[in-house]
């Protein structure tokens, strides 16, 4: 483990025709670590995830998993290699029950030949157990996922990824649609997943969420890497500044202040 990181990305680029979506991105993540990928809208975060998840393939650069060069041709391949992605839209079917969602695509079966059926009792039991490990007490595994709160849904997705032997867990904006308290819950899940030995890639546009849990930070802006820092090399303030392109943010801030004072006067 010491010689190479679990997942190592070198100079990853992605072009859609003449559009450069991502250029020369380098970062790494190790087991039991959290690497945060920060960027504003349109920074290339989605492309970055899709390459890792096997939805798209990089146009240039190399991905090394455990020191071996890999190229994921489909989401299934990435999953089989132990790279699980929890998407922003959660990859859940809201009208289906918790346990069916938990096992979707990899249901445990019993029986042989044409009468092979899902082992429902086992699936329900495991789903409840795994959720309990994440600290979520599922009321009824038959309840539709649509009735769960946002934080609980994230937890189902994270628990699912962990259960199916993920070594690298990619979380796409897990806190963006959540309230303050729920975000806290999800951040706790991230730390728990890390403590269980998973390598976590946490994609967010919120430095306040990223800084407390991250061990390494990759900042993207307009498809380009603005830097790849270990935690000790950077403060939260600097992180925020880099993310929005420092100067721009300051400008915005002063404009805002003007506008606010203007309102107060009138």
Instruction: Write out the residues near another protein by the rule CB under 8 A.
Output: 53, 55, 75-76, 79, 85, 87, 89-96, 100, 103-107, 109, 116-118, 120, 137, 139-140, 143-144, 146-147, 149, 160
Q: How far apart are CA 214 and CA 234, in angstroms?
A: 11
Residue partners of 236: CB distance under 8 A and separation at least 6: 207, 208, 211
CB of 114 vs another protein, minimal distance in Å: 10
Nearest approach in angstroms of CB 266 to another protein is 40
- What's the Cα-to-Cα distance from 103 to each of 7, 56, 131, 173, 213, rounded to whole Å? 26, 24, 13, 22, 28
Q: Which is nearer to another protein, 13 or 85 (CB)?
A: 85
- Closest distance to another protein from the beta carbon of 105 (Å): 4
Whichever of 89 and 232 has its CB closer to another protein, that residue is 89
Question: Which residues, listed in sequence order, are joined to residue 70 by a DSSP beta bridge?
Answer: 63
Based on CB atoms, which residue is closest to another protein, 99 or 202? 99
Structure tokens at 147: 């009735």
CA dist., res. 116 & res. 112, Å (int): 5
Report the nearest approach of another protein to the CB of residue 25 (Å): 22
| Cα atoms in the 13 Å half-sphere on the side-chain side of 38 | 29
SS3 category, 229? strand
CB of 213 to another protein, least distance (A): 24
**Of residues 91 and 249, the one with the C-beta less far from another protein:** 91
Name the 3-class secondary structure at 207: helix
Question: Cβ closer to another protein: 100 or 216?
Answer: 100
């Amino acid at each position: 483990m010491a010689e190479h990181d679990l997942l190592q990305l070198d100079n990853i680029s992605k072009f859609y025709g003449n559009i450069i979506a991502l250029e020369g991105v380098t970062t790494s993540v190790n087991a039991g670590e959290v690497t945060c990928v920060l960027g504003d809208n349109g920074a290339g975060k989605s492309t970055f995830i899709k390459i890792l998840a096997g939805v798209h393939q990089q146009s240039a650069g190399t991905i090394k998993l455990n020191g071996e060069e890999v190229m994921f041709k489909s989401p299934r391949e990435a999953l089989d290699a132990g790279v699980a992605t929890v998407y922003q839209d959660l990859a859940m079917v809201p009208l289906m029950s918790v346990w069916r969602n938990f096992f979707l695509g990899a249901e445990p079966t019993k029986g042989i030949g044409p009468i092979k059926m899902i082992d429902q009792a086992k699936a329900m039991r495991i789903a409840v157990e795994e959720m309990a490990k994440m600290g979520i007490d599922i009321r009824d595994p038959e309840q539709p996922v649509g009735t769960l709160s946002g934080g609980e849904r994230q937890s189902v997705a994270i628990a699912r990824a962990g259960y199916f032997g993920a070594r690298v867990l990619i979380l796409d904006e897990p806190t963006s649609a959540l309230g303050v308290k729920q975000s806290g819950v999800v951040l706790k899940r991230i730390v728990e997943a890390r403590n269980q030995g998973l390598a976590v890639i946490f994609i967010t546009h919120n430095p306040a969420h990223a800084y407390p849990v991250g061990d390494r930070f990759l900042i993207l802006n307009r498809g380009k890497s603005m830097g790849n820092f270990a935690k000790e090399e950077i403060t939260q303030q600097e992180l925020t500044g880099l993310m929005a392109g420092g100067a721009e943010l300051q400008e915005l801030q002063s404009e805002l202040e003007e506008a606010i004072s203007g309102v107060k006067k009138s």
